Amino acid sequence: MGNFGKWWVVARREWQVAFQAPLAWVLLALWMFMGGRFFVGSLLGSRSTDLTPVFWNLAVLLIFIAPLLTMRLLAEERRNGSDELILTAPVSTGQWVLGKYIGVLFVWTMFAVVSLLFPLATSRFGAVQWGVVASSWLGMWLFGAATLSMGLFASSLTSNQVVAAMLSFAVVLLFYGSTWVPGHGLVGQLMTYISLPSQFNNFTLGLVSVSHLIYLVSLCVGFLFLAVRVVDLRRWT
Amino acid sequence: MADMDEGTPNDQEQNTGESAAQPTGPRKPGGLRGALASRGMRWGTATAVYVGVVAAALIGVNLVGAHIPTQWDLTFNHNLTLSAASRNIAAKVTHPVHIIAFERPGGTTGAKVSALLQQYQTASHGKITYQVVDPAANAALAVRYHIKSYDTVVLQSGSHTQTVSGSSLTTYSSSGQPQFNGEQPITNALLQLASPTQMTVDFLAGNGEPNTAGGQLPDAVLALKNQGYKVGALNLLTSHGVPSSVSALVVVDPTQDLPTSSVSALKKYAAGGGHLVFLLDPSTKNLKNLTGMLAGWGVKPQNDLVVDPSHSSQSPVFIVPKYGSSPITAPLQQANYATLLLGAQGLTLGKAPKGYTVTPVLTTYGGGSSSNPTSFGITNLSKLQTTGLHYTKGQDIPGPLTVAATVAGPSGKAQFRAVVIGNAGFIASAAPGQTQAPINIQGNRDLFLNSVGWATGRSQGITIRPRPSLNTQVFLTSGSTSALVDTFVLGVPLVCFLLAAGAWWTRRRL
C-alpha cells in the first residue's frame, strides 16, 4: 500500500466514524438552522440576491463548529491510548495526522456542499452572481479548512476533548480577532494580514487572490505540521 | 504531508541502531551532558529546529505571496478589475501619488476599494502607493484630511489633494440596489490631479429640454461628474450668451425650436471655438432654427425614424449602428461594445463650411434592394401609426444612413467642435418598471462621455467606463417567503436532526 493508501484508509475511517455518530449531524442541523435564518433574513432585508452576508455568517459559525468537529480527533486517541498503536502500525505520524485531517475535511466539505442550497434557492427569485458565489464558497471552505487544522492541532495537545475544544476555540479566535487589538505600523499590518476575516473578505467580493490562497493554505500546512510534531514529540519523549 | 516524517530524528535514530521499542526507558543520571544527550532533549531540540525552519519557510512564502498581484475577478462584468483606460491613466502618472482610503475595518466597500487601489499601484509601477486607514484608530490623519465619513478616499500628489467622497463610490440602480462603482471617481480624481483645472459642462435649458437641474437625466449627469466635469444648466434667454467658462454645451432634445437670439448666441459661441453636443430625437414639430443652424455646419437632421430590421435589438427601431472612423467610437469598437439607439433619426451630411470637417460617427447598414433596403428612414412620422414600419419607395430615405457625425474646424488653437447624434433617448435613466436604464446598455454611456470628451478636447476622457453591476433584486411574495422559512429554517435542520437521531439509535443498538 503506497503512501496515498495509508492516509486514505485513516481518512475514510474518520469520515465514516463521524457520520455514524450523531454529533456531526447535530452540528450540521444547527449550522443549517442558523444559516437558514441568516439566509431568509438577508433575502427579506436586502431584497437582493447578494449572498455575501450569508457566507460571512456561515464562516463565523465555524469558530464554534470547528472546535467541536475536531476536539475528538487526536484527544480521544490519546485518552484511549490507541495512539500508541500507531507505533506498530505501518503508517507514519504524518500520514496518520493527515488522514485524520482529510477525514474531518470531508465532513466539512459535506457541510459546505449542503450550504449551496442557499444560492440554488436564491436563483429562483432573481439573478445570482455565480462567480461571486463560487469565490465566496471557496473562501468559506478554505476558512473552514484553516480552522479545522487549528482544531486538529489543539486536539493534539491534550487528552481531554473539552479542553481541546476550548483550546481550539481560543486559537481560532486569535486568528479571527487579531485586528480587534489596535495596532499601528508593522504590527497593525501584521495583525491585519493574519486576520482570517481580512483574508476571507476578498473571496466574498468575488476576488480570488493568489496571496490569500497562499495564506490560508499556509495556515493549514503550518498547523498540521505542528500537530504532527506534537504527536511525534509526545511519542518519543 | 505524507512524507512529513522523512528525514526526521525518528528515522535517524532507527538508522543508528537505537530501538524504537525503548523510547521511554529510564534515563541514566549524567548531569547536563546526560540530559542533553537524552532522547527527549534531542527530540525537543529537533522539533524546535523543524518548527523554526517550517515557520520561516511559510513566512517566506507569504512574504513573496503577498506581493503577487495575480487575482481572478469572478464578479459580473469584472466590476472589481480596473478597465484598460484606468490602467493606462495610472501608467501615465508621472509624479508620485499617495492614496489614503479611510475605511471601516472589515467593511465591504473598504475591501472593494483596497482591491482597486492595489491594481492602481501595480499599473502605475509603484508611482501610486496607498494605505487603508481606520479613521477611528487614526484620528490625527482623519482630522488632517477633514474626514467626516467612512469610505472617503484622499489622493495626494505633492501639495495637491483630491477627495473622493463615500457617496460617489456607490451608485443606485433604478430598483434602488446599491452598486459599487469606485473606479470612475478614483480614476477621475487621478485625472484631476494631473490637470487640476475643472471643466464645466452645461445642459441647455428653456426650450423643453430635460430639466437636469431638477433631477432629470440623473445617470448622465452623474457620469459627467464622475469624469470630473462640473455640470450645470444654461438658459440662453437669461444668460444672454454662452459664458466662456463653459467647456461644452449639451443640447438634449428640445421640444420647442430655439429662438433666434439663442441660435445667434450658439453661433457666436461656436465661432469663438465653442464645443457643442447635440442629442436630437426625431420630432413632429418644425425646429427650423435649430435645423438651419446645424445644416449651416454641414449636418442636417432628417427628422425621420430610422428602421433597420437586420441590425436591431427587440424592435426594428432599436437599432445597432456601425462605427465610423472616429476617436469617439474607436475605444468602443476595440472593446467590442455596441451602442443601441431607440427611435433615432438620420442626418444628412452636406457641404461643411470652408476649413471645417464633417465626419460620420455612426451609420446604419447599407444593402438590400431598391424596394426593400436593409435600413431606411421613415419620413412621415405623423402617419407612422397607420402605415407601420414599412419602406415606401420615393417617400422614405434608403440606407445607409448617418445617425451621428462630428464637425470640427477651423484648425487652430480655438477650434470649434460639435457632435450631433440623431438620438437623445440613449442617455436616459431607467423609467419606472424598466429593468435597465438606456444609458447603461452596452456602450451607450461611453458614446455620450466620449462625445463630450472629444468635444472638450480632453483626450484622456475618451475611455471605456466601468460596466454596471448585475441587477440582483429579489421579488418575494408572502408565499415564497413562507416556503423559504419552511425549507431552510425548519425542513433542512429537521432532516439533519432525524439523521442524528438515527445515528444515535443505531449506535445504541450496537
**Could you tell me if B234 and B382 lie in one domain?**
yes
**Could you tell me if B64 and B75 lie in one domain?**
no
Do the chains contact at A26 and B1, CB–CB below 8 Å?
no
Residues paired with B306 in a beta bridge: B377
**Could you tell me if B290 and B421 lie in one domain?**
yes
N-to-C CA span, chain B: 35
Are B199 and B229 a contacting pair, CB within 8 Å?
A: yes
**Could you tell me if B363 and B404 lie in one domain?**
yes
Domain boundary among B192, B227, B255: B192
Burial class (CB in 10 A: 0-12, 13-18, 19+), B432: exposed
Residue B476 inside a domain? The answer is: no
ipTM of the complex: 0.83
Three cell numbers, residue B246: 463653459
Residue B356 inside a domain? The answer is: yes
Do the chains contact at A122 and B474, CB–CB below 8 Å?
yes
**Distance of alpha carbon A136 from alpha carbon A196, whole angstroms:** 14
Cα within 13 Å of Cα(A38), Cβ side: 21
**Could you tell me if B438 and B449 lie in one domain?**
yes
Chain CA centroid to CA B36, Å: 67
Residue B122 inside a domain? The answer is: yes
**Distance of alpha carbon B307 from alpha carbon B315, whole angstroms:** 9
**Distance of alpha carbon B164 from alpha carbon B70, whole angstroms:** 26
All residues of chain B having their beta carbon less than 8 Å from the beta carbon of residue A87 are 20
Three cell numbers, residue B74: 469572478
Beta strands B246-252; B275-279: pairing state: parallel
Are A21 and A97 a contacting pair, CB within 8 Å?
A: no
Total number of domains in chain B = 3
Nearest to A127 among B1, B68, B470 (CB): B470
Three cell numbers, residue A183: 495596532
Residue B479 inside a domain? The answer is: no
Nearest to A18 by CA among A106, A91, A80: A106
CATH of residue B102's domain is: 3.40.30.10
CA dihedral A169, A170, A174, A176 (to 10 degrees): 20
CA distance B440 to chain A (A): 17
Beta strands in A71-217 (DSSP E): 207-209
Beta strands B416-421; B275-279: pairing state: parallel
Please report, in tens digits, the pLDDT of each residue of chain B (510 residues total). 333 333 334 443 333 333 333 444 444 455 656 655 666 677 778 888 888 999 999 999 998 988 887 889 898 878 888 888 888 889 988 889 999 999 887 777 888 898 899 899 989 988 999 988 888 888 888 888 888 888 999 999 888 888 888 877 876 655 566 778 888 889 888 887 877 677 899 999 999 999 998 889 988 998 888 777 889 999 998 888 899 899 999 999 999 999 999 999 999 999 999 999 999 999 878 889 999 999 999 999 999 999 998 888 878 888 999 999 898 998 788 767 789 999 999 999 998 888 899 999 999 998 888 888 999 998 888 777 777 788 888 888 998 999 999 999 887 767 899 999 999 999 998 887 776 788 888 789 889 988 998 998 875 544 555 555 666 777 777 788 888 899 989 999 999 999 999 988 888 876
Give the type of residue at B437. A
Residue B257 inside a domain? The answer is: yes
Provide the 10 A C-beta neighbour count for residue B6. Answer: 10
Nearest to B462 by CA among B299, B334, B346, B347: B334
**Could you tell me if B60 and B77 lie in one domain?**
no
Burial class (CB in 10 A: 0-12, 13-18, 19+), B485: middle
Asked if A179 is an interface residue toward chain B (Cβ–Cβ < 8 A), one would say: yes
Do the chains contact at B106 and A198, CB–CB below 8 Å?
yes
Asked if A115 is an interface residue toward chain B (Cβ–Cβ < 8 A), one would say: no
**Distance of alpha carbon A23 from alpha carbon A2, whole angstroms:** 32
Nearest to B4 among A182, A225, A235 (CB): A225
Three cell numbers, residue A111: 457541510
**Could you tell me if B231 and B359 lie in one domain?**
yes
All residues of chain A having their beta carbon less than 8 Å from the beta carbon of residue B20 are 87
**Distance of alpha carbon A219 from alpha carbon A194, whole angstroms:** 9
Give the type of residue at B429. S
Expressed as residue numbers, the domain containing B52 is 41-68
Asked if A206 is an interface residue toward chain B (Cβ–Cβ < 8 A), one would say: yes
Asked if B500 is an interface residue toward chain A (Cβ–Cβ < 8 A), one would say: yes
Residues 6+ apart with CB under 8 A from B417: B275, B276, B406, B407, B408, B454, B455, B457
Beta strands B246-252; B200-205: pairing state: parallel
Burial class (CB in 10 A: 0-12, 13-18, 19+), A132: buried
